[in-house]
Structure 1
Amino acid sequence: MSVPGLQLSELPIGQPFSNFTAQDSTPAEPLAEKTYEIAKLREWRFEVAFGATVEVKLLKGSAEIFGTELPIGHKFTFTGTKSAIFTWHGCTLEVRGSPSVEYTSEETPMTAYTNLHFALEKQRGMASESPTMQGPRVMIIGPENAGKTSLVKILTAYAVRQGQKPAVVNLDPKEGVLSLPGTLSATSFSTIMDVEEGFGSSPTSGPSPVPVKLPLVYYYGLETPEGNTKLYRALVSRMAVAVSSRLSEDDQSTPPPSPPSTNEVNTRTPQDRSSGIIIDTPGTISQTPTGYDLLHHAISEFSVTTLVVLGSERLYSDMLRRFEDRPNHQHHPPISIIKLSKSGGCVDRDDAFLRASRERSIREYFFGEPKKRTLSPYTMTVGFDDLNIWRVGEASTLNASLLPIGHDDDEEGGGGGGGQALLAQAECSMLLQHSVAAVLHAEVGDGVHILAESSVMGASVDEQKRYMKILAPMPGRLPPKPLVVSSFPEPTFSLVG
């Protein structure tokens, strides 16, 4: 692949990032400054385009952004975002810059969201007093752009402020949480969330303004669960086993086996068990019959106890028919189904915005965020013969000729379901140019079901000389591990060779 543009004040090397503006000798114009008085129970909503910057400072009063409280006098910088600041008792904001959209809303669902939090907190209190009771396992479902991820942030931030340590699971490959897009991830939250970055950041070689989180990451490599339902099911099951094992009631026992990963370092405590799980889901999964089956699979695997339906009356009705009268069982607990309204602040994010978000995520993975944390990735050259490349099988394009040699579609490494494979052996070629490759914590001879936490690299390919130029987030030789690639996230062309 090539390397994302630095997005720093220095001139970029090679082709610049599409939104990068080269610096010149002309001094930048000062940002326009405004002061807003926000009345209690109001929400100031704003959007900032990529390439633009808006600075927000709380001057007095109290305010929060997705559940995380803003400190008075601290400046926060936003770019490429659609967000909202809510106040329970009124506040004064100082805003420098010009958001592309800004307004104050009197209608906000924060009261309903807070009531949900207190209901979950009551369940946590009951679980902490009982050695056999688990904390709430909450799954948020709803259509695209209904505010599911925002609600997950709010519930997580409120739980952390109460001293809880909820496990947050992201089952939406379109948007990476503490990881790159195209992955599923889970982590335990016990510290404050990042106001500017949302969930915060995973470990890097640079400093972080808030404590980093240590996610467990699985590589999926497709935009929607329907792209490879067999692989998605397998990853959801593996994720559920790993997360549930860390919420075990027997906190003194040896941790049970789980998929290999170097970042699974969250220590289990009784508080972890009682804090429970908060699960985010993709919007497409609730729109089709295939998606309903995948949703039912995730609910069963994670033993969900509370299902929150956001912004869809039809989906709420369907979930009632499926789960309301389900008998109580040890492995299938009863499910409380809650309907919440979609916030009026939720806006559609077009493809251009989402693609720019993904490109920024990849760039910052290697180079860090401008003016906050500068990283120094490493470039190395490896031969084609030294690599073991696999590609995620896609339901719409996969055929038998792409299956691994010696496998058929009924074997573990194949696919079933009409020839849908988990992974297929791939050759090194120019098709890998500008793509993201995940290094698997597995051995070259292992079966394709062994997928675990991944770190991401970039590569520049020379087919004639049979070598690749690899961009790695850490120094050292490329480990003798399998690599897996796919079509998502899409190739990032704003890179250097």
Structure 2
Amino acid sequence: MDIVEFNETPEAAQSSALLQGQEWNVHVPSGAKLTVTVKYGIVEILGTELANDIPYTFQGISVNIYAIERSLIEWKCLEELEPVLSENKSYHTYVYNLSFALERLKLLSFNGPRLLILGQRSTGKSSLAHILCSYALKIKQYQPLLVNLNPQEGVFSLPGSITATPISEILDVESSIWGQSITTGATKLHDKQPLVKNFGLENIEDNRPLYLSTISQLASGVQQRLKNDPVVRRSGLIIDTPDISRFDTDTWSEVRHIIEQFEINAIVVCADTDELAIKLSENFKTKVGHFVRIPPPGSITKIDGIMRRALQRIQIREYFYGTTETVLSPYTMGAGFEEITIFKPRNLSEYGGTQQEIDLTVFDKVEVNASNLQHSIVAITNISRKDTQDKLNTASIIGYGLITEVNDSKRKLRVLLPVPSRIPDRAMILTEYRYLE
């Protein structure tokens, strides 16, 4: 006999049968926990197959389970959820064809495809990048280099960063941040080791020169990796981007910079119509050889500001504390004000919206006090805090810390770190992101 505590409510398992080509969609609120078990059949989440009879747990994310063949899933949640079954065969046909086309490009050259994904918000750009990475692992022993250029979305890192990560093992479908990286300690799946560059601001338009400079630094590291690793070079690049409206679509300066820095040879546009693809083709047909449009999937989740904040909060929490399956134990370290040096990127809004005679790629030193640093996320660079400021532009990020407490009277602060260590003697960069436990 099962014993149920008085403060617990038993979860009633429910079953859903999926026909081939059907998709089971549900959004899980951040305070709820959904457990899904595949009883029989083959299903996948964003290109990654789920094992049978293994429970998968989801929190605070949208779950889209696609049936490769007739399948049965069992699910349970204490909250009231309303899953929706939909047909999504046409979208997956587009994705299959794109995946096969990328495979042909890999066979034609030792330099794999360099794919740039563009589109409006909530058109499936990140989902497509996720699926293409997963499918590349299934075809051969490829290691596609996933590049994330959206500072609002953490990929193997925290929001505020842009990253480049070789994908050599399956992706963690339960995680809201694609999976955990080597900086967060022991993980259930193979660790991913991203190259991280910190932008620090949330909106690209707040400092376009710094954003372009950060992309250049990331691209330099990517080119070096491609030069030294023939497997990654043959596997190619898959580049995810922010909402196209964040870019300057009059001059296309950001898109042109990305194309030149990463030597893009194919562009995929996620859109309902051909309008954006035609504009891009007119502007870049001499630089890019292939343009493809893929319509957004019917089950796409519209992410508004509230949901974006909730996802960012989950990403920060998972970075330091792990998931329900892999619990991490971060370390809190104390330091005096004189032991740390923190800089912050310049924000155009602080200068009245004008950048005349202002070098926006320069970092300003931050006064250490509670009003500036309480509950803030700081990027820890690989350069000494005594080095000159000009090295900050080329610095890599070795990890992030959370300043949990600042005591002005005692001139002491406490920093949460994902690994056991003293407070690193490194220059730190203040981001715009905050987290209150």
| TM-score (norm: length of structure 1) | 0.81
Question: Are residues 1:461 and 2:435 paired?
Answer: no
- The AA in structure 1 aligned to 2:215 is V
Q: CA 1:385 to 1:291, structure 2 compared with 1: closer, same or farther past 3 Å?
A: farther
Shift of 1:285: 4.8
Shift of 1:65: 0.6
Indicate conservation of the 8 Å contact 2:361/2:393, yes or no.
Answer: no
Question: Are residues 1:194 and 2:172 paired?
Answer: yes
Distance of 1:164 and 1:397 partners within structure 2: 45
- The AA in structure 1 aligned to 2:381 is L
Aligned length: 424
Distance of 1:284 and 1:338 partners within structure 2: 16
Residue in 1 that maps onto 2:9: 29
Distance of 1:366 and 1:114 partners within structure 2: 36
Residue in 1 that maps onto 2:393: 449
Distance of 1:206 and 1:475 partners within structure 2: 10
- The AA in structure 2 aligned to 1:319 is L
Greater helix fraction, Structure 1 or Structure 2: 2
Question: Are residues 1:168 and 2:146 paired?
Answer: yes
- The AA in structure 2 aligned to 1:355 is R
Pairing partner for 1:79 from 59, 68, 76: 59
Residue in 2 that maps onto 1:381: 334
- The AA in structure 2 aligned to 1:463 is D
List per-residue Cα deviations over 1:258-300 (Å, max 9, x = no partner): xxxxxxxxxx2x2221100000000145664378311221111
Residue in 2 that maps onto 1:433: 374
Question: Are residues 1:53 and 2:33 paired?
Answer: yes
Residue in 2 that maps onto 1:390: 343
Question: Are residues 1:353 and 2:307 paired?
Answer: yes
Q: CA 1:475 to 1:89, structure 2 compared with 1: closer, same or farther past 3 Å?
A: closer
Indicate conservation of the 8 Å contact 1:147/1:342, yes or no.
Answer: yes
Shift of 1:202: 0.5
Question: Are residues 1:338 and 2:292 paired?
Answer: yes
Shift of 1:25: 6.0
Shift of 1:451: 2.3
Indicate conservation of the 8 Å contact 1:286/1:292, yes or no.
Answer: no
Pairing partner for 1:127 from 96, 100, 109: 109
Shift of 1:26: 2.7
Shift of 1:477: 2.1
Question: Are residues 1:477 and 2:422 paired?
Answer: yes
Indicate conservation of the 8 Å contact 2:183/2:419, yes or no.
Answer: no
Question: Are residues 1:226 and 2:205 paired?
Answer: yes
Q: Which runs of 5+ in 2 are unaligned?
A: none
Question: Are residues 1:138 and 2:99 paired?
Answer: no
- The AA in structure 2 aligned to 1:352 is I
List per-residue Cα deviations over 1:275-329 (Å, max 9, x = no partner): 00000000145664378311221111101111000015332121011112x1xxx
Indicate conservation of the 8 Å contact 2:346/2:360, yes or no.
Answer: yes
Shift of 1:368: 1.8
List per-residue Cα deviations over 1:203-243 (Å, max 9, x = no partner): 25653221110111111111122221111111111111111
- The AA in structure 1 aligned to 2:253 is D
Distance of 1:175 and 1:470 partners within structure 2: 23
Kindly indicate whether structure 1 or structure 2 has the higher relative contact order, using CA contacts under 8 Å at least 6 residues apart.
Answer: 1
Pairing partner for 1:319 from 259, 264, 280: 280
Distance of 2:396 and 2:80 partners within structure 1: 40
Shift of 1:380: 2.1
Shift of 1:359: 1.4
Greater strand fraction, Structure 1 or Structure 2: 2
List per-residue Cα deviations over 1:165-210 (Å, max 9, x = no partner): 1000000010100001111111111111112126221025653221
- The AA in structure 2 aligned to 1:360 is I
Indicate conservation of the 8 Å contact 2:197/2:217, yes or no.
Answer: no
- The AA in structure 1 aligned to 2:130 is K
Indicate conservation of the 8 Å contact 2:26/2:82, yes or no.
Answer: yes
Residue in 2 that maps onto 1:208: 187
List per-residue Cα deviations over 1:38-67 (Å, max 9, x = no partner): 111111111111111111111111111100
Residue in 1 that maps onto 2:237: 277
Indicate conservation of the 8 Å contact 1:171/1:279, yes or no.
Answer: yes
Q: CA 1:54 to 1:85, structure 2 compared with 1: closer, same or farther past 3 Å?
A: same
Q: CA 1:290 to 1:184, structure 2 compared with 1: closer, same or farther past 3 Å?
A: farther
- The AA in structure 1 aligned to 2:280 is M
CA RMSD, Structure 1 to Structure 2 (Å): 2.2
Distance of 1:146 and 1:137 partners within structure 2: 20
- The AA in structure 2 aligned to 1:336 is H
The alignment partner of 1:272 has SS state of: helix
Distance of 1:148 and 1:119 partners within structure 2: 18
Residue in 1 that maps onto 2:266: 306
Shift of 1:350: 2.2
Report % sequence identity: 31
Question: Are residues 1:43 and 2:4 paired?
Answer: no
Pairing partner for 1:178 from 134, 156, 159: 156
The alignment partner of 1:185 has SS state of: strand
The alignment partner of 2:397 has SS state of: coil
- The AA in structure 2 aligned to 1:455 is G
Question: Are residues 1:297 and 2:279 paired?
Answer: no
Q: Which runs of 5+ in 1 are unaligned?
A: 1-23, 129-133, 252-267, 327-331, 401-408, 410-414
Distance of 2:351 and 2:343 partners within structure 1: 13
